Amino acid sequence: MSKKIITLLLAGVMMLSLAACGAKEAAPAPSAPSAPAASAPAAETTGLTEAFAESPILVTSGGQSADYQMIATVMGKVGMDYEVSNLCTSADLGDAKTLIIVVGGSSKGLGAAGIDADGELARLEELIAGAESAGLSIIAMHTGGEARRGDLSDKFITPIFEKADYAIVVTAGDEDGLMAGICANNSIPMDAIASISEVTTVLPAAFK
Amino acid sequence: MTKKNYISAALCLAVSIAIMISTSMNFLAAREVPMPEWGPSVTEVKMLSDWFDGLAGTNGDTPVYVLKGEKEGGAALVLGGTHANEPSGYMSAITFIETAVVEAGTIYVIPYTNHSAMTHNDPGEGNIQYFTINTQSGPRTFRFGSRATNPIDQWPDPDVYVHYPSNQQLSGSETRNINRGYPGRADGNLTERMAYGVAELIRAENVGITFDLHEASPEYPVINATVAHQDAMNIASEGCIELLLGGIDMSLEQSPTNFHGLTHRELGDYTDTMAILMETANASQGRLRGASSVEQVLGGLDRFYVINEDLGMLYVPFDESGHPIEERCGRHLQGVYEYISAYNNANPDDAILYSGVPGYAELFLMADPATLGGPHLGSYLK
C-alpha cells in the first residue's frame, strides 16, 4: 500500500513539471479575473465629454508589456506627435503636458527592460507624483484585453488608474469591472472600447 | 536446466528478438522525413550545409526551399520545425512552400529546422509518431517529432548546459534544444552547428526578416503571442495591430535581453535580421491534457483542457471546439503576411511581395467547421 502511495506522489510531482517551447520564465500562475473591489459600484462609468489634454505627449509603459509600443504605433498612424520612453522617470517629463501610461504587465518585458515588478511599480509611482506636481494630464490605457490581466498586470492597474484624468479600456480586459470600478469610484471619465482599433478615434478626441 | 526451461527460454528469446526487430524498424523508419511538394515559386531546394559545410553528411543538415520572385526585393526566412513536436510550425512552413507565389524578393523556408528532432519522438510522453492528412493528391503522412535533437545524433547530455557565448546555464537536456543554441558555433555540438548554419544563411543572404513558428501548451503564459527582438518591435507593433484588427487575438512581447539562445534574441543580436517568433496553442503539449492522440494534434481537442479552462488554469480560451490545425496554421501564416507587410512599409526598396498563401480567414474563419482538424488544411496541400 505504501508503495502505491509513493508511486502516486511521484506521479503527482512529475505532473507538476511543465513543458513548453518558449522561455521558461517565472510567471505567475494564471488566476481568474479579480473580483470587483468591495467598494466598487456597478461600474457606472461616464465617457469623456470634452477634450482636455494637450501636447506634447509622453507615452510610457505600466508594467513593460509591449502594448505601449502598439499604442505609439496607432498614434503615429493617426498623425499624433509623441515621445515614447518605457523607463522614463519624472526627470524625463521635460515640457510634456500629457502623460499616457499603457498598463499591462509582462515578465518578458520586465526582463527586456532589466527591471523587476517592484522596481517598475516604484518607477511609476515616482513618475506619476512628478507628473501630478508638474500639472500634467494623465491618461491611463489598458488595451491588451484578457491577456493583460492576472496577478502581474493587476499590480499596476490600481495605482495608475486611480491617478488618471481619463481612462481608455478594451472591454475584454475588464470583464470583472476592476477598472470601471476604479474610474466610477474616483469620477474618472472612462471610455470602454471593443478593440484597439477604436483608439484611433477616442484618443485623439481627448486632445484640444 | 530441464528441457521445459530451455523451451521457455527459447520462446522468451524469440519474442524479445521479434520486439527488438519491430521497434528497430519503427525507429529507423522515423529517419524518413516526408518533404514538401514543390510549390509554384520554388526555384531550388538547397541544404543548410550549402551555407555551413560543418553540417554536411549529418542528420542535422536540412532542406532549405528557395522561393524566388521575378522582381528584385528583400529576403525573408521562415523557420518551421524548430521544435518537431509543434506541428503547426512545420505544417505552416509546408503550406507556405506549396502555395506561395512570390512576386518580389526571395523567401527561404526551412520546414524542419531541427531535422534530427523530426527523426524521433519522446517515448515518455506517449506521443504519436505520425499523422495523416488528406490532400489534393491523396493521403499524406507527416511526422510528429521531438522538441530536441535525436540523442542518437548528439549524446550524452551534460549535467548543465552552458550556452555559447553568454555562459548562461540551463538544464543539461536543453543542450539538444536548438532554440537555446543560437547563435551557434561552427565547432560546437550538432545542435549548435545547426543554429550556426541558420545564422550563416541569414548573414549570407542578407535576410531582412526571420520568422520562427512555434506552439506552446495552453497552460503556458506566452501563448497566442509574438515575441520580437527590440530592433523588430516597430514592425511587430504594426503587424500585431493588423492581426488584432483582423480578429486574431495576439499579444506582443519584447525579447528579454537576459535570456539567451533563442531566435528572437540571438538572431537579432548576431545578424541584421528582424527576428520574430510566434506561438499558438497546442493541445498535445503540456501536462494538463489527456492521453496523446491525433485529435489533439490535428483537431486541437482535449476534454481535460476544457475542464482546466473552467478551473482558470489556462492562458488561452479552450472549449469543445478546441484549436484545430487550421486555426493554428492560419494564425502563423497571417502573422507572416502582416509582419512582412509592416516590413515592406518600413523598407519599400527591399519589399517582399507574395500571394496565394491561405491566411486566417481562408484556413479557419471561412471554413466549414466539419472540415477542420486536417481536411481543410489538406485541401491547400498538393
Cα-only R_g, chain A: 19
| Closest residue of chain A to B83, computed from CA coordinates | A21
Which 208-237 residues of chain B touch chain A by CB within 8 A?
214-217, 219-222, 224-225, 227-228, 230, 233-234, 236-237
Whether residue A71 is contained in a domain is answered as yes
Residue in A30, A107, A197 closest to B315 by CB: A30
Give residue-wise pLDDT tens across range A43-54. 688 999 999 999
Cell of B358: 491561405
Which 346-365 residues of chain B touch chain A by CB within 8 A?
none
Q: Give the residue from A32, A122, A24 showing the smallest Cα distance to B171.
A: A24
Which 152-211 residues of chain B touch chain A by CB within 8 A?
179
Count of CB atoms within 10 A of residue A159's CB? 16
Whether residue A154 is contained in a domain is answered as yes
Distance CA A165, CA A186 (A): 10
Name the pLDDT band for A18 (thresholds 50, 70, 90). very low
Confirm if B17 and B102 have CB atoms less than 8 A apart.
no
Q: Rounded to the nearest 10 degrees, how much is the dihedral formed by the CA atoms of B261, B264, B267, B271? A: -150
| Closest residue of chain A to B310, computed from CA coordinates | A32
**Using a CB-CB distance cutoff of 8 angstroms, which residues of chain A are in contact with residue B215?**
21
**Interface contact A31-B312, CB threshold 8 A:** yes
Q: Show the domain range for A178.
A: 57-205
Fold of the B34-378 domain: Aminopeptidase (3.40.630)
pLDDT at A175: 92
**Interface contact A22-B227, CB threshold 8 A:** yes
| Closest residue of chain B to A172, computed from CA coordinates | B249
Mean pLDDT of B73-82: 98
Name the pLDDT band for A37 (thresholds 50, 70, 90). very low
pLDDT at B262: 98
Distance CA B236, CA B242 (A): 10
Q: The domain that contains A141 carries what CATH number?
A: 3.40.50
Mean pLDDT of B278-299: 95
Mutant choice from B86, B234, B244, B304 vs A, greatest count of A C-beta within 10 A: B244
| Closest residue of chain A to B245, computed from CA coordinates | A197
Is residue B256 within 8 angstroms of chain A, CB to CB? Answer: yes
> Is residue A102 within a helix (H) or strand (E), and if so which, with residue range?
strand A98-103
Is residue B5 within 8 angstroms of chain A, CB to CB? Answer: no
Longest alpha-carbon distance in chain B: 85
Distance from CA of A31 to the nearest CA of B (A): 6
**Using a CB-CB distance cutoff of 8 angstroms, which residues of chain A are in contact with residue B225?**
147
Whether residue A150 is contained in a domain is answered as yes
Is the confidence metric ipTM above 0.85 for this complex?
no
pLDDT higher than 60, residue A32: no
Give residue-wise pLDDT tens across range B127-166. 999 999 999 999 999 999 999 999 999 999 999 999 999 9
3-state secondary structure A19-86: CCCCCCCCCCCCCCCCCCCCCCCCCCCCCCCCCCECCCEEEEEECECCHHHHHHHHHHHCCCCCEECC
pLDDT at A7: 67
- For chain B, percent of residues with pLDDT exceeding 70: 100
| Closest residue of chain B to A34, computed from CA coordinates | B312
Mean pLDDT of A79-86: 95
Distance from CA of A187 to the nearest CA of B (A): 30
**Interface contact A144-B215, CB threshold 8 A:** no
pLDDT at A1: 55
Cα separation values, B313 from A25, A28, A33, A105, B219, Å: 17, 11, 12, 18, 6
Q: Give the residue from A163, A141, A166 showing the smallest Cα distance to A153.
A: A141
Distance from CA of A148 to the nearest CA of B (A): 9
Residue in A20, A70, A111 closest to B285 by CB: A20
| Closest residue of chain B to A150, computed from CA coordinates | B315
B105 by DSSP, 3-state: which? strand
**Interface contact A66-B249, CB threshold 8 A:** no
Total structural domains in chain A? 1
